[in-house]
Amino acid sequence: MPVTLQTIKDNPLVNDYLKMGNNYIGCVGALEHNVQHAEYTSALCSDILTQLGCPEREAELGAIAGYLHDIGNLVNRYGHGMSGALMAFGILTDMGMEPEEIATIIGAIGNHEEHAQGQPVNNVAAALILADKSDVHRTRVRKNDFAAFTTRDRVNYAVTRSGLEVESGSRTIIMRLEIDTQVTSVMEYFEIFLTKMLMCRHAAQHLRCEFELFINDTRLL
């Protein structure tokens, strides 16, 4: 039987590692990377591939990659894409997944970090980049003291609504954000997250799509 998203979710080791990893990075005040983020990324990654007409199994591989993509936080926040890919390799191999499918998933996980110069090496990787980077919202900021916010905390806290739209007919992927400009300016947000947004544009291009970014109804890309 093929390994499915449900069998991944039913694996107690996977869920323990995700929860422990999120707790570990919480010790340094990093953003929430909890099961809710894994669920969101998984569902959106699958949806992107489905809406663009990719095969059903490829969309499921996207869902699996989305669910597992932050498992490397158990090792360290920095370089978690690489360590997560190695962890996923062991888990998926033990579960009997086909080698080609494992390669697709670990390639995606290992390439979703902008600081590690991740690239959209396959369709699943491209969808994962877009899904992961679209999950920005103030609810992911752990700190309660605004004075203790890092720049990353502040720009995430500024986002009051975020979403990703796929227009399959025109092959356009649109990211829409609403930002509280009392917390940070639109241009400051764009400057800080420019690398992420360029990564999203490259991912969309891999999927033969255009990428558009709207912040407070103003198009910036």
pLDDT tens, residue by residue, 58-67: 999 999 999 9
Q: How far apart are CA 116 and CA 79, in angstroms?
A: 7
User: Per-residue b/e over 12-51, b at no fewer than 16 CB within 10 Å?
Assistant: eebbebbeebbebbeeeebbbbbeebbebbbbbbbbbbbe
The answer to whether the CB of 39 falls within 8 A of the CB of 47 is no
Write out residues in the chain with pLDDT < 50, as ranges. Answer: none
Structure tokens at 49: 């591939």
Structure tokens at 70: 């932050």
- Amino acid letter, residue 177: L
Structure tokens at 169: 């007919």
Q: Which CATH entry fits the domain spanning 5-219: 2.40.330, 2.60.40, 1.10.357, 1.10.3210?
A: 1.10.3210
Residue 116, pLDDT score: 72
Residue 188, pLDDT score: 87
Cβ atoms within 10 A of the Cβ of 187, count?
11
Tell me if the pTM is above 0.85: yes
Residue 192, pLDDT score: 86
The answer to whether the CB of 141 falls within 8 A of the CB of 157 is yes
- Which helix (H) or strand (E) segment holds residue 166: the answer is strand 159-167
Residue 63, pLDDT score: 98
User: Distances from the Cα of 174 to the Cαs of 104, 107, 195, 215, in angstroms?
Assistant: 25, 24, 17, 11
State the DSSP code for 75.
Answer: T
